[in-house]
Chains A and B, each alone.
Chain A
Amino acid sequence: MLLFGISTAHGEDLAIDLSHNEVAITTAFSGTDLLLFGATDQNKKSDIIVVVRGPKGKEIVRHKEHVMGLWINSGEMEFVGVPDFYTVASSRPLNEILPEDVLKREQIGAHRLVFSPIAGTTMGPEKQAAYHEALLRNKRRQGLYATDIGDVTFVGVNLFRTTLHFPAAVPVGDYRIETYLVRDDKIVTRHETEMRVHKIGVEEEIYNFAHQQAWAYGILAIIVAGLAGWVANAIFRKA
């Protein structure tokens, strides 16, 4: 399944193609790689940045404190607009390609992501920053925010490619892949591609069953367990 798109924001074309436009989570799923390749229509030396953003959601950050000898969750902060997944690939280090203010504005690089704490927080800016930093750190540890910037490699002057890695724990949902064509400290063209991460086959059926018909699922789980126990007993007796 190939996806093809052309973007002509500044009169300069950027064609992008993905090896697949979906990540299918099957029973044997343990992470996967997608190949992204593209071409520019002019023979000028330029740079490419690819940003993958997962679906946005709410995330709660909890802070443990030492209370009576035990480590207990005692503070929390909720953030909205947190991408479940985030990764970046580029042809050169980001700060050599674009000025910091542009990177910040476009939220390129995990530490430049902006999340807003849910309204009504009474915490001071220093505490908020600590929670914000903790959110990034935990996402990185879970492998959901890339720790390294991936490589975009050029084949000739106007053909490029990169491999995007999705770990086993990749969250399901609609993803956005943004590709930036950069020259002389400026974004020349921006191209956006949609991609979907979803469960298929048995995985999808069990998940949907469990969520849509929770009562039936629970009862069935018990029947299956009861039968399994009965069969086990029958085998025991013969053995």
Chain B
Amino acid sequence: MQIYLPIAEVSVNIFLILGMGGGVGFLSGLFGVGGGFLMTPLLIFIGIPPAVAVATEANQIVASSVSGVLAHWKRGNVDVKMGVMLLIGGVIGSTLGVWLFTILKELGQIDLVIKVSYVVFLGIIGSVMFVESLRTMMHRQKQAAPRRRVHNWMHGLPLKMRFHRSRLYISVIPTLMIGVVVGILSAIMGVGGGFIMVPAMIYLLGMPTAVVVGTSLFQIIFVTANVTILQAVNNFAVDVVLALLLLAGGVIGAQFGAKAGAKLHGEQLRVLLAVMVLGVCGKIGFDLLITPVDVFSIGPVGGH
């Protein structure tokens, strides 16, 4: 059954979109990630204009983050103060990102920048995660992973602030910087940025793992909401019909994913996730390298 998307202006199969939402939802429930890094490339792949894919996925992530954060909120796993600091950076970053997005679109380079960003970030994160989790799997019997306490150059920075929930007394500068970087990526790549923020919070800020996911989801809600509004105003690229379809599939998929995830070990999950991240990275990278079907492409001037 075909459905015509009012903003994307393409006709798509309704079951394909629901299925994609379900599949990515399953994986996000399984691995505890947002899934934006999988969904945005998939949407572009089935013919949704890249600008619409990025903007609509931001809107969908608002929903999945709200759904996710509520569970963490109940268990007290959200460091609101840390979240707000990340958010201040995030709002600056995402506003900057949407502005960059609009300029790059006019220059005809947005597709390239989206793809290169994917290859670079997924490549780095995927490799680090793969190596790290393999190492943990090998040494699992010998020792439990030590709690990471970082003492590095960041502790010499001014503007120190106490974060009770995270049991940290650190400068807000690295926190704001992480927020800005993730905000820019969120606007350009159509992702929540959890896959970058979570490792950054653990390894750079030294936050306890328990509060990391809840705090990251809390912050992602507001950053993706900012991206949604700015994309709607600047690029008219948010398709609510598409977002709702993805959401419907995603909710059901995430439920099954979370159940399946409970049966697997953390390291096994991480290796699987790493393989998947590297797979997406490889596919996008390959497409940049092979000779295109037509070296010429066309597009309307102004608007999408």
Q: Which A residues form the contact surface with B (CB < 8 A)?
A: 25-31, 57-66, 69-73, 76, 78, 130-131, 134-135, 137-139, 141, 168-169, 199, 202-204, 206-207, 210-211, 214-215, 217-222, 224-226, 228-230, 232-233, 235-236, 239
Contact = CB atoms under 8 A, between A and B. Distances in A.
Contacts of A135: 296, 298
Interface of B: 1-4, 6-7, 9-11, 59-60, 62-68, 70-71, 108-109, 111-112, 116, 221, 225, 228-233, 236, 238, 240-241, 243-244, 247, 251, 254-255, 288-289, 291-292, 294-302
B296 A229 contact: no
B2 A62 contact: no
Contact of A59 (B9, B247, B299): B299
Contacts of A66: 291
B54 to A, nearest CB: 14
Q: By DSSP majority rule, is chain A's interface helix, strand, loop, or mixed? A: helix
B108 A76 contact: yes
B62 A226 contact: yes
Nearest to A70: B288
B213 to A, nearest CB: 15
Most buried by B among A29, A64, A135: A64
A225 B63 contact: yes
Contacts of B111: 73
Contact of A207 (B6, B116, B228, B232): B6
Contacts of B62: 222, 225-226, 229
A137 B244 CA distance: 35
B251 A217 contact: no
B233 A60 contact: no
Contact of A229 (B6, B7, B66): B66
Nearest to A130: B296
B295 A232 contact: no
B4 A29 contact: yes
A236 B255 contact: yes
A221 B289 contact: no
B60 A225 contact: yes
A28 B296 contact: no
A224 B244 contact: yes
A134 B294 contact: yes
B288 A219 contact: no
Given A61-B296, A218-B238, A232-B63, A210 B232 contact: yes
Given A59-B298, A230-B66, A233-B71, A27 B238 contact: no
Contact of A70 (B63, B65, B251, B289): B289
Contacts of A236: 67, 71, 255
Contacts of A204: 6
A60 B64 contact: no
B112 A72 contact: yes
A63 to B, nearest CB: 6
Contact of B229 (A30, A69, A203, A215): A215
Most buried by A among B4, B238, B241, B289: B4
Contact of A73 (B9, B67, B112, B244): B112
B7 A207 contact: yes
The 9 lowest CB-CB distance pairs between A and B, nearest first, are A229-B66, A218-B232, A134-B296, A218-B229, A168-B11, A58-B301, A229-B67, A225-B63, A225-B62
A72 B297 CA distance: 11
Given A60-B108, A64-B296, A221-B59, A30 B243 contact: no
Contact of B255 (A29, A225, A239): A239
Given A66-B291, A134-B298, A218-B231, 17 more contacts: A26-B4, A27-B4, A28-B2, A70-B288, A71-B291, A139-B298, A169-B10, A206-B240, A207-B6, A210-B238, A214-B233, A214-B236, A218-B233, A219-B229, A229-B67, A230-B70, A233-B70
Contacts of A226: 62-63, 66, 221, 225
A58 B302 CA distance: 9
A59 to B, nearest CB: 6
B292 A229 contact: no
B73 to A, nearest CB: 10
Contacts of B11: 29-31, 168-169
B298 A138 contact: yes
Contacts of B301: 57-60, 78
